[in-house]
Amino acid sequence: MTVTRGTEEPDPVWAATAPLWRAVQAFRLVTLLYAVGQQIASVSYYGNQRLSWALIAVMAVWSGISAVLLSQWRIRHEPRVRRAVVVGDHVVVIALIFATRLVAPYDWYHHHQTLPTTLWAANAVVSAAILWGPFGGVCSGLLISAAVITARAQWDFDVWRDATLPVLISVGLALGLASDTAHRAHAQLQRAVRLTAAARERERLAREVHDGVLQVLSYIKRRGNEIGGLTAELAQRAGEQEVALRVLISEQGDRTDAGGAEEDLRPLLTAQATPSVLVSTPGHPVRLGHRSAREVAAAVAAALANVVQHAGPGAKAYVLLEDIGDELVVSVRDDGPGIPPGRLAEAEGQGRMGVSRSIVGRIAALGGTAQLLFEPAPADGEGAEWEFRVPLEPRH
C-alpha cells in the first residue's frame, strides 16, 4: 500500500527528531567557522598551502549541502536521502583526515589537529547518533577516532592523552540517547492523539446511537410492556439489547489503551451513583491497572443495568467497594424480587449471553470470580447480590 503525504508534513518516523536535525545543522556551521579559523592560524605551517585551501573549500561546500539536505522535509524520499548524506559525511570526514598528510609535514600533523578539526569531524558522529541511536553514535565515534589516530600515527600511549576518542564517543552516546528519547516521546504523543480522537468519535457515535437506536429500543420496551401478551417478550428482548448497547458504547474507548498505568477505581464507581443507586467506597485510593479498573466498573454497570431491567422501577441498588489487602471485593445488591433459581442458566441456554459476558466473563478475565449470592433461593423482597472478587498485586 502506498501512502501519500502532503509536502508540508514530515514522515512520522522522522518527525520526532526534526528539531534535533535542525539544531545540529547550526552546530555544523559553527564548527565550519572554527575550522576556517584554525586553517588561517595553521596554514603557514603547511607544505602545500593551495591544496589546504582547496580542501577547506570542499569542507565548506559539503557543509552547506549536507546542512540543507538534513534539515529539509519537503524533498522526495527524505529518509533515503538522509541516510545517504550521513554516510557521505563519514566518507568526506575520513577523506579530509587522511588528506592532512598531503598538505602538512609529519611533525605537524603528528602533534596537532588534522585538517578537519575534531569539532567539525564530530558532525558525522552527531548525525549517525540521531539516525541510528546510541549504538550508531558510539560506532561512528570509534570509526572517526580510529581514522584520526591512524592519520596522525598515534597508535601508542599518546592516544590516551588525546581527547579525540572520549569526546567523539561521548557525543555519539549522548545524542543517540537524546534521539531515542525523542522517538519515544513522539510515539507517546501520537498515541495520546489517537486516544483523544477515538474518545471524540466514541462520543459522537454515542450521541447518534442515543438519538436513534437506543430511543427506539426504549420505546419498544415501554410499549411492549404496556400492551402485554406476546409483545411482552419482544419488550424484554428490546430491553436486554438496550442494556447491552449502552454497556458496549461505554467501554469502546477503553479497549485502545494498553493498561499500563494505575487508576483509582472509586471515581469510576461513584460516577454511577443515582438517586436509586447508592455507592460506598473506602476513604483511600483503590488503585488498579487502567484496563482492570475499567473492566470492574463495566461489570458493575452491567449489574446495575440488570437491576433496572428486572428489579422494577422502584428498586434501589447498593454498591460497596472493599479493599481487603490481597484482593478487591465489590458487592452490587438490590432490594427487588430477586432472581429465580436456575434463571441465569436458562437465559444462557436461550442464547442470552449478557450476564455471562458482561459480568462473569469480565471478572474472570481479570483472574477473579463473580458470584450471585442470593440466586439459589431468594426470599421475598430480599433481592439479589453480586459479589466480585479481584486479586490484587502485592504492594511494596
Residue 313: its pLDDT value, please? 66
| pLDDT value at residue 351 | 45
Residue 330: pLDDT band by 50, 70, 90 thresholds? very high
- Give the lowest-confidence range in 144-148, 287-291, 335-339, 378-382: 378-382
What is the predicted pLDDT for the residue at 256? Answer: 44
Question: Long-range contacts for 256-260 (Cβ within 8 Å, ≥24 apart)?
Answer: 256/194, 256/195, 256/198, 257/195, 257/290, 257/291, 257/294, 258/291, 259/289, 259/290, 259/291, 259/292, 260/289, 260/290
Question: pLDDT by residue (tens digit) across 219-271?
Answer: 787 777 778 777 877 877 777 676 666 656 555 544 444 444 788 888 888 88
pLDDT digits (tens, 9 = 90+) for 7-43: 445 565 567 777 888 888 888 999 999 989 988 988 8
Helix (H) or strand (E) holding 356: none
Give the model's pLDDT for residue 5.
43
Residue 204 is predicted with a pLDDT of 72
pLDDT confidence bin for 218, thresholds 50/70/90: confident
Share of the chain above pLDDT 90, in %: 14
With beta carbons less than 8 A apart as the criterion, state whether 220 and 234 touch.
yes
- Is the pLDDT assigned to residue 91 strictly greater than 90? yes
The answer to whether 321 and 280 have CB atoms below 8 angstroms apart is: yes
Task: Compute CA 250 distance to the chain's CA centroid, rounded to the nearest angstrom.
Answer: 22
Mean pLDDT of 203-217: 67
Query: Cβ(211)–Cβ(254) under 8 Å?
Result: no
| pLDDT class of 60 with cuts at 50, 70, 90 | very high
Please report which confidence band the pLDDT of residue 284 belongs to, taking 50, 70 and 90 as the band edges. Answer: confident
Interacting residues of 122 by C-beta distance below 8 A, sequence separation 6+: 31, 144, 167, 168, 171
Domains in the chain: boundaries: 12-188, 259-396
CATH homologous superfamily, domain 259-396: Histidine kinase-like ATPase, C-terminal domain (3.30.565.10)
pLDDT digits (tens, 9 = 90+) for 338-358: 666 655 555 555 545 455 566
Higher pLDDT, 234 or 64: 64
Chain segment 162-173, per-residue pLDDT in tens: 667 788 888 888
- Mean pLDDT of all residues belonging to the chain: 78
**What mean pLDDT is predicted for residues 161-188?**
81
Highest mean pLDDT among 57-61, 225-229, 272-276: 57-61
Question: What pLDDT, on the 0 to 100 scale, is given for residue 70?
Answer: 85
User: Does residue 147 carry a pLDDT above 70?
Assistant: yes
In this prediction the pTM is 0.52
Mean pLDDT across the stretch 113-133? 87
**Of 76-90, 174-188, 210-224, which range is least confident?**
210-224
Please report which residue ranges of 325-372 form alpha helices under DSSP H.
343-349, 354-355, 362-365
Mean pLDDT calculated for residue range 355-381: 72
Per DSSP, what are the bridge partners of residue 387? 331, 371
Calculate mean pLDDT across residues 134-159.
Answer: 82
pLDDT at residue 12, as a whole number: 58
Its sign, for the CA torsion 190, 196, 201, 205, is positive
